[in-house]
Amino acid sequence: MIASVRGVVAAIAPDSAVIEVGGVGLQVQCAPGTLANLKAGAEARLATSMVVREDSLTLYGFADDDEKHLFELLQTASGVGPRLAQAVLAVHQPETVRRAIAGGDLATLTRVPGIGKKGAERMVLELRDKIGALPAADGVPAGLLNGAWQDQVRQGVLALGWSAAQADQAVAAVAESIDGEVPPVPMLLRQAIRLLGKAR
């Protein structure tokens, strides 16, 4: 497999570039953001991932290895092929994609053309464990952002014997009380239990 290419940029098209390596011009499919950093006649290095099909060999190029690894990881989800994986990286930065998956942020994922709500839910379900917990910009694990903590608190409340309606009510009340940084889930769960205790 071709893991990377380095050479002179011979040509740039709307969705690809030709990198000349040892006298051979390699056509590399790239997202607009990657192409924007290339300059015809200048040397460039692209991390690459080769997709082998029965009737084609396609080389996809990325600004760095992080983008490449995420491109390959995205394709392990059902219904995600190389073109859709590249579309994800064309719309979002890798860190944004990881946070969206780890935090169950469907709105961010569905901004990508070709990904609907069901597709986004499937990506979260199948890739969340592979992505792992990520530190957020403010130091809060990404799993506590974008709705993931609500699910954990709701499940905790249900496990303690309250009804689904009561659990939803408590989660909504806790969410309204959060101002800025999201506290740890155990603290949020204790707050929900206190609210439910007062309601009894």
User: For the segment 152-188, what is each residue's pLDDT rounded down to a tens digit?
Assistant: 788 777 877 888 888 888 888 888 887 767 777 778 8
pLDDT, one tens digit per residue, over 36-49 is 889 999 999 999 99
Is residue 55 packed enough to be buried (19+ CB in 10 Å), middle (13-18) or exposed (0-12)? exposed
- Which of the four pLDDT bands, split at 50, 70 and 90, describes residue 4? very high
pLDDT at 146 over 50: no
Looking at 23-27, 140-144, 184-188, which range is the least confident one? 140-144
- Which of the four pLDDT bands, split at 50, 70 and 90, describes residue 78? very high
> What is the chain's percent helix, strand, coil content, to nearest 5?
50, 20, 30
Nearest to 145 by CA among 114, 115, 189, 175: 175
pTM above 0.85, yes or no: no
Q: Which amino acid is located at 82 in the chain? A: P
pLDDT at 133 over 90: no
142 touches 135 (CB < 8 A): yes
- The pair of structure tokens assigned to 96 is 């944004």
| Cα(82)–Cα(102) distance, integer angstroms | 21
Portion of the chain with pLDDT greater than 90, in percent = 52
Q: What average pLDDT is seen over the chain?
A: 86
Mean pLDDT of 136-156: 59
Q: Which amino acid is located at 41 in the chain? A: G
4 touches 47 (CB < 8 A): yes
